[in-house]
Amino acid sequence: MIIRVIVLFFIGICSFAQDKMEVQEPSYIKSVQLRPARANAYFPIVKLGERIVLKFDDLEADEKYYEYKIEHYTYDWQLSNISSSVYSDGFTSDNIRDFENSFNTYQNYTHYSLSIPNKNFRLKISGNYLLSVLNEEEEVVFTRKFIVYQPKVDVGVSTHKARKIDAINTKQNVAFIVNHPNLLINNPSQEIKVAIYQNNDWNSIITDLQPQFYRGTQLIYKYGEETTFWGNNEYLFFDSKDFRNATNNIRRVVLKDLYNTTLYVDQERGRKSYTYYPDINGNFAVRSINVEDITLESEYTRVHFAYEVLDSNITDAIYVYGSFNNWQLTDENRLTYNDETTFYETDIILKQGFYNYTYVTVNDNDEINTRIEGSHFQTENEYNVILYYSKFGSRYDEVIGLGSGSSINLQN
């Protein structure tokens, strides 16, 4: 059965606009991680009942008392009109009690940790959630999104080359099928909502998709341009786990007020051919050698980025971009042109570890363009398809399915 739909989407020439809902952390808050409590998991999405862990450092190191607050949101990230007792047991707002000071580091910091669920709080329903961290004056210091799902359907995801000839070398298409043999969906076009993310980047969302076909207990989504992403390029990286030796991507390390790590100059890759090397899709992992506790003994280092732009026609702002600051655009990760070196440069204070990053341009409307670094169909990207269900008469949006796919093996 073919459904005629009008699909509203935005995949413009300048890519995806930055989300304005979240509150970005101040400069003294660093290394914020909100991740599932399992190895090699970066995207903050967990099955209902599974643990998700928040970690962050306060560089002012004065043992502040922080609180957290958790709120339920709709599929399109609007505050849900439901009582906290509907989505939680316990206190939706409470103190963060787990914190310790760093040990034997040049940059002092206090490390905070929070696990959900805990003895004072657990979530009862699936959905989108916003975790806010507040200070003693009950002011929001920063926020993070996360998603809780309860698998009621299966979502099969496949990745393909773009269908249009002019995009076949630069873009990737995502298709998926929803199998719901145990769930009665009366009106899929009204009750089912979809969100697709590339590489755990909240700014990359594609939504407002309706199923194109029904086949028994299947919903089939095989769109063309509507579910096509730029392939982009593999992420750049550096590894600062060891200060004693420079590495392939670190030119030198000098101890001043704290360690200063100077990276080799990155040259714009927009006109270069594709080169494969493994990455972790824009994420980061804190790590350090020769210490017993990487959480409290890892150093902070001032990382110096330098970027050589080959296209003299670029007039938009240039940013270092990645999960290290939740894919946000801030003064710290904006590059400034240096007349003496002729490079675009910035310094960012980061904890020792392995970091992926890339460069993007941003216009006056805060629209992000990733193509300064090139875009290739061969690039390895990860895609997450989130399925929302709002049964007729329900007061909130459930998350009933999660599907994941990689572009390692593109299908034609």
Same domain, 165 and 192: yes
Q: Answer yes or no: is 412 within a domain.
A: no
Give the pLDDT of residue 171.
Answer: 97
Give the pLDDT of residue 31.
Answer: 98
Model confidence at 20, in pLDDT bands (50, 70, 90)? low
pLDDT average, residue stretch 177-201: 95
Same domain, 220 and 274: no
Q: Answer yes or no: is 219 within a domain.
A: yes
Same domain, 211 and 267: no
Same domain, 285 and 211: no
Query: What is the token pair recorded at 26?
Result: 């101040």
CA distance 37 to 190: 34
Same domain, 246 and 296: yes
Same domain, 141 and 159: no
CA distance 109 to 297: 10
Q: Answer yes or no: is 12 within a domain.
A: no
pLDDT tens-digit map of 324-338: 999 999 999 999 999
pLDDT tens-digit map of 341-357: 999 999 999 999 999 99
Same domain, 109 and 201: no
Same domain, 127 and 206: no
Give the pLDDT of residue 32.
Answer: 98
Number of structural domains (the chain) is 3
Give me the half-sphere count of Cα atoms (radius 13 Å) on the Cβ side of residue 11.
Answer: 21
pTM over 0.85: yes
| 77 pLDDT above the threshold of 60 | yes
| 17 pLDDT above the threshold of 70 | no
| 3 pLDDT above the threshold of 60 | no
What CATH number did the domain enclosing 102 receive?
2.60.40.10
Residue, of 236 and 3, whose pLDDT is higher: 236
| 15 pLDDT above the threshold of 60 | no
Q: Which residue bears the tokens 């996360």?
A: 146
Residue, of 16 and 185, whose pLDDT is higher: 185
Burial class (CB in 10 A: 0-12, 13-18, 19+), 318: buried
Q: Answer yes or no: is 15 within a domain.
A: no
Same domain, 240 and 261: yes
Query: What is the token pair recorded at 213?
Result: 């076909």
Burial class (CB in 10 A: 0-12, 13-18, 19+), 92: middle
Q: Answer yes or no: is 182 within a domain.
A: yes
Q: Answer yes or no: is 124 within a domain.
A: yes
Q: Are 396 and 88 in contact (CB under 8 A)?
A: no
CA distance 118 to 125: 16
Give the pLDDT of residue 4.
Answer: 37
| Beta strand extents in 37-170 (DSSP E only) | 45-47, 52-58, 67-73, 88-90, 93-95, 98-101, 110-116, 121-123, 127-134, 140-149, 154-161
The chain-wide mean pLDDT, for the chain, equals: 92
Same domain, 68 and 175: no
Q: 358 lies in which domain range?
A: 236-373
Give the pLDDT of residue 409.
Answer: 82
Dihedral (C-alpha) 79, 177, 197, 148: value to the nearest 10 degrees?
40
Model confidence at 7, in pLDDT bands (50, 70, 90)? very low
| 384 pLDDT above the threshold of 60 | yes
Give the pLDDT of residue 22.
Answer: 87
Where a domain ends, among 149, 184, 214? Answer: 149
Give the rounded distance of the alpha carbon of 268 from its chain centre: 23
pLDDT tens-digit map of 280-301: 999 999 999 989 999 999 999 9
pLDDT tens-digit map of 245-275: 777 799 999 999 899 999 999 999 998 999 9
pLDDT average, residue stretch 166-182: 96
Same domain, 185 and 297: no
pLDDT tens-digit map of 84-134: 999 999 988 899 999 999 999 999 999 999 999 999 999 999 999 999 999
Q: Answer yes or no: is 9 within a domain.
A: no
Where a domain ends, among 149, 174, 192? Answer: 149
Give the pLDDT of residue 164.
Answer: 92
Same domain, 369 and 386: no
Q: Are 92 and 118 in contact (CB under 8 A)?
A: no
Q: Answer yes or no: is 2 within a domain.
A: no
Where a domain ends, among 94, 121, 149? Answer: 149
